[in-house]
Each structure stands twice: as structure tokens, then as C-alpha cells.
Amino acid sequence: MEGTKITLRPRKKARIEIIPLIDVIFFLLATFVLFTLSLNRIQSIPIDLPFSDSAPHPEKPDITTIQVSADGALYWDTVAIDMQELPIRIATLVSQKADPKVMLASDDRARFGATVAVLDEIRKAGITKFSVETRTRPTGR
């Protein structure tokens, strides 16, 4: 008996087609370049918005504000004080309140050294809840 011979064709090796891969990479590159070129810088105009006197103001939290002005003068909640008076006022605040909160503010031309000196006095008194206001305000407010 004569059997049938099955002949197998040699298999082709698998190949990675590089041309479609290059097409996809160039498409992504072109999309990225066009997107970045179309971005515009957002420019804004600084404006001072008006405040309403008739609107109800939220309750002010019990925070003591210490402000440093350009000439080195200090303000304790809008009252002008001397630097020598600051440790006494801070000690009185610590003795009156169990958990005092202090905000350190300054006007736009305040010196950094005076601000650091006030911050040192706050830390010496052991006050842990203090914040530094990041926007400037007019002197004495």
C-alpha cells in the first residue's frame, strides 16, 4: 500500500512591518507639534473688584493679624505698635487664649528682615498655628 505523502510548505518567518509603525509615529509627532503651536498664552489684566457693603460678611475667625510695613512699623490688628511691644502682646495673647491663631501680613514694600523678626517672636512664644498672608494689603489694614 502506497501512502499519500503530505508535503509541508516551509513557514514564513513573522516580520514586524516597520512602515506602518513609522506612519503612526509621524502622525503622533505632527499632532503634538500642531497642538503645541496652537496653544496661546493666557494674558490677564489686573483689576480691583469692588466690594459690597450691604452683603453679609462671614464671621471673622478669631485670628490676630500682625502686619509689617515698608518702614518697619508693626500693626497689631490695625493698631500701630513698636517692635519692643510685640513680645509683650504675644505673651498676653498666649495667656488669654488656649489656642491662639496669628496671621503675619505685610504691605508690598515690607522688608524681609523685619518680617522674619516678627516670625521669630511668634515662634518663641510657642504659637504653632500661624499663617503668612500671601497677598499684600495696604499699610495698617
Q: What pLDDT does 18 receive?
A: 86
Architecture of domain 64-132: 2-Layer Sandwich (3.30)
∠ CA 92-97-98 to the nearest 5 degrees?
A: 125
Burial of 88 (0-12, 13-18, 19+ CB in 10 A): exposed
List average pLDDT for each run of 10 residues in the chain, which is 141 residues long: 75 82 93 83 70 60 84 86 89 87 83 86 85 74 61
Q: What pLDDT does 28 receive?
A: 95
